[in-house]
């Protein structure tokens, strides 16, 4: 008489997954994630730890093209601009690093560190070209796991992403990659003030944080968005398209086009809303 084998413990299942088997890597990855999610349900690991582990797996599957900042959204520096104009642009953008081009934006000649500009720009013999750091160029297909290792080994923080024709497709920073693992990383320029949730860029364009409540969005855009399940714009967007959109993606809802300007693997952080003529 045979008996059914007892269900395996979590440790036994993890051991099975980590031992050599004929299963493909992708199949084992799915099994391991399912086991970890069961562990979360059983209270063995918390939600933050699970989200971070899922982010690590996702980094292994994503490429630079999936998270890059599109070239249209890059804050560029033209080497031929005056120092006064360059300083003004650096202060306005409030980044620490900027790609610098000459003649056209496909001709990136280096990376400018804001600290170099602000420290040395008053020197009599200052030449911006002398303070540029070498630019690192990577293909759109480069895996984020490999890119993260390169960032760490070479102490680099930014890479220019080029397309198959050698043109600049966008850029990726080390922060962009890390956010796929740990979620949004706020810096000293981020703010939680509700007044800064919506910034009017022009008469028809508004930069909006994902955590902004729909009621506030409706007041600013003159819309009447409603969602019984979500209070925020990010939740409203996710429900409408059924997934987390990628950075640079555009979604049209009624007469508003939402362009995703900042997002990680789990949520939308910043959108650019453009009002169009009502269909």
CATH number at residue 91: 3.10.580.10
For residues 97 and 158, the answer to whether their CB atoms sit within 8 Å is yes
Q: Please count the structural domains in the chain.
A: 3
- 103 versus 16: the higher-pLDDT residue is 103
The answer to whether residue 250 is domain-embedded is yes
Q: Is the pLDDT of residue 131 over 90?
A: yes
The answer to whether residues 126 and 210 belong to one domain is no
- 261 versus 81: the higher-pLDDT residue is 81
Sign of CA dihedral 211, 217, 219, 225: negative
The answer to whether residue 54 is domain-embedded is yes
pLDDT in tens, 57-66: 777 778 898 8
Query: Where does the pLDDT of residue 242 fall: very low under 50, low under 70, confident under 90, or very high at 90 and above?
Result: confident
Q: What pLDDT shows up at residue 18? A: 47
Q: What pLDDT shows up at residue 16? A: 55
Q: What is the C-alpha separation between 101 and 57, in angstroms, rounded?
A: 35
- Other Cβ atoms less than 10 A from the Cβ of 273: the count is 21
Q: What pLDDT shows up at residue 73? A: 85
Which domain-ending residue is among 156, 182, 208? 182
The answer to whether residue 187 is domain-embedded is no
The answer to whether residue 5 is domain-embedded is no
CA atoms within 13 Å, Cβ hemisphere of 30:
4
The answer to whether residues 115 and 209 belong to one domain is no
The answer to whether residue 172 is domain-embedded is yes
Tell me the average pLDDT across 64-86. Answer: 91
Q: What pLDDT shows up at residue 8? A: 57
The secondary structure of residue 211, as a DSSP letter, is T
The answer to whether residues 93 and 30 belong to one domain is no
The answer to whether residue 78 is domain-embedded is yes
C-alpha distances in Å from residue 122, one per residue of 77, 99, 115, 255: 18, 21, 13, 48
The answer to whether residues 166 and 220 belong to one domain is no
Tell me the average pLDDT across 62-83. Answer: 90
The answer to whether residue 189 is domain-embedded is no
Rounded to the nearest integer, the mean pLDDT of the chain is: 83
Q: Is the pLDDT of residue 187 over 80?
A: no
Q: What pLDDT shows up at residue 247? A: 77
Q: What pLDDT shows up at residue 181? A: 75
The answer to whether residue 207 is domain-embedded is yes
Query: Where does the pLDDT of residue 279 fall: very low under 50, low under 70, confident under 90, or very high at 90 and above?
Result: low
Instruction: Give the rounded percent of residues in the chain with a pLDDT score beyond 90.
Output: 41
Residue 209, strand partner residues: 270
Domain that holds residue 252: 196-275
Q: What pLDDT shows up at residue 3? A: 47
Nearest to 219 by CA among 240, 198, 191: 198
């Amino acid at each position: 008489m045979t008996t059914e084998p007892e269900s395996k413990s979590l440790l036994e299942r993890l051991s099975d997954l980590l031992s050599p088997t004929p299963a493909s890597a992708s199949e084992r990855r799915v099994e391991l994630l399912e086991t970890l999610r069961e562990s979360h349900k059983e209270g063995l690991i918390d939600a933050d730890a699970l989200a971070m582990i899922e982010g690590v797996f996702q980094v292994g599957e994503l490429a630079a093209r999936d998270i890059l900042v599109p070239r249209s959204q890059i804050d560029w520096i033209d080497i031929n601009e005056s120092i006064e104009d360059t300083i003004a642009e650096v202060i306005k953008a409030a980044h620490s690093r900027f790609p610098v081009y000459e003649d056209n934006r496909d001709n990136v000649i280096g990376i400018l560190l804001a600290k170099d500009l602000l420290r040395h720009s008053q020197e009599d013999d200052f030449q911006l070209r002398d303070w540029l750091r070498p630019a690192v160029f990577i293909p759109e297909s480069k895996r984020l796991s490999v890119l993260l290792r390169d960032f760490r080994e070479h102490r680099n923080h930014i890479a220019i992403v080029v397309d198959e024709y050698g043109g600049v497709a966008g850029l990726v920073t080390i922060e962009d990659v890390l956010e796929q693992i740990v979620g949004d990383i706020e810096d000293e320029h981020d703010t939680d003030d509700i007044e800064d949730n919506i910034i009017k860029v022009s008469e028809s364009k508004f930069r909006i944080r994902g955590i902004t409540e729909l009621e506030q969005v409706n007041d600013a855009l003159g819309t009447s968005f409603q969602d019984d399940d979500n209070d925020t714009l990010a939740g409203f967007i996710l429900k409408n398209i059924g997934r987390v959109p990628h950075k640079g993606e555009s979604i049209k809802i009624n007469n508003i086009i939402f362009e995703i300007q900042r997002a990680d693997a789990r949520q939308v952080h910043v959108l650019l809303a453009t009002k169009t003529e009502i269909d």
